[in-house]
Every structure is written in structure tokens, then in C-alpha cells.
């Protein structure tokens, strides 16, 4: 019976593809959830209000592009092994300018989101994200 249960996992006849979140979406949600702008960019406290939005937007886009590039180049092994600390170390080594503790939280979020069979639904008015998550209970 146990062998049949193991083999039946390989013989999945479900024709619907898995709905895993893209790495870009995972990174965007990790930035939204874990990036503290004041901690990462303390200099924004001294910027004129007119420059603040462009400065922060440029930083966030740069972080997102850098994370995508790093994960695309060296991150696959860390994602498959669910190694957030290793992914964080690779990002730091590649020059991501985020405090290590914050970057580790972001990497943990990225890894958690890449392993979910989830579909983003919407952001609520209070800033929380709503997902449809498929689970198997045993």
C-alpha cells in the first residue's frame, strides 16, 4: 500500500499546471513585507520631501533587479534546498546593500513563497495580501 502511495505521486493525472508564484512576485512581496526603508536607507531622513519618492523608488527597483539577477544566476540551489541563510550570504557576497538581518528575513520570505502552491488575489485596504493557497491534508 505504501509503495502504491509513493508511486501514485509520480503518476499524477492532474492536467492543471501548478500555480507556483514567479520568483519576481516572491521578491516583490518580500520587499513589501520585510524591507524597512529607514533602516536600509537612513539617509532618507535628511532628504527633501520632493526627492524622497524618486530616491526610494530607485532603491527598491535596484534591490528587486539585483535580487532577480542573483537568484537567476546562483540562487536555484538555495531555493531547492530551502536554504535562506545561503541565499542571503550569496546576496551579500554579490553586493546587495541591505542590512544582513533584514536581507535574511527577505530571503526567508522568498523561499517560503516559492514553495507555496498559491495564487495572489488582491491587496486589502489595510495593506495585507490575500492569496488562494492549495493544501493537501493527510
pLDDT in tens, 70-81: 999 999 999 999
Report the chain's terminal Cα–Cα distance, integer Å.
Answer: 15
The pTM of the full predicted model, rounded to 2 decimals, is 0.71
Q: Could you say which residues of the chain have pLDDT below 50? A: 1-19
> Nearest-CA neighbor of 107 among 77, 87, 81?
87
Long-range contacts of 9-18 (CB under 8 A, 24+ apart): 18/117
Chain CA centroid to CA 74, Å: 15
Q: Which residue has the cell 520570505?
A: 109
Pairwise CA distance, residues 17 & 74, whole Å: 26
Span 24-41, pLDDT tens digits? 989 999 999 999 999 999
Q: How far apart are CA 137 and CA 134, in angstroms?
A: 10
Amino acid at each position: 500500500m505504501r509503495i502504491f502511495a509513493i508511486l501514485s505521486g509520480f503518476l499524477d493525472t492532474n492536467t492543471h499546471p501548478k500555480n507556483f508564484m514567479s520568483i519576481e512576485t516572491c521578491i516583490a512581496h518580500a520587499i513589501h513585507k520585510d524591507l524597512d526603508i529607514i533602516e536600509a536607507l537612513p539617509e532618507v531622513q535628511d532628504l527633501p520631501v520632493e526627492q524622497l519618492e524618486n530616491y526610494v523608488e530607485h532603491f527598491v527597483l535596484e534591490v528587486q533587479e539585483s535580487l532577480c539577477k542573483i537568484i537567476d544566476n546562483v540562487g536555484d540551489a538555495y531555493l531547492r534546498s530551502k536554504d535562506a541563510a545561503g541565499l542571503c550570504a550569496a546576496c551579500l557576497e554579490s553586493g546587495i546593500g541591505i542590512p544582513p538581518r533584514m536581507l535574511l528575513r527577505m530571503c526567508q520570505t522568498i523561499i517560503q513563497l516559492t514553495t507555496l502552491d498559491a495564487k495572489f488575489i488582491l491587496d486589502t485596504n489595510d495593506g495585507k495580501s490575500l492569496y488562494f493557497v492549495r493544501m493537501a491534508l493527510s
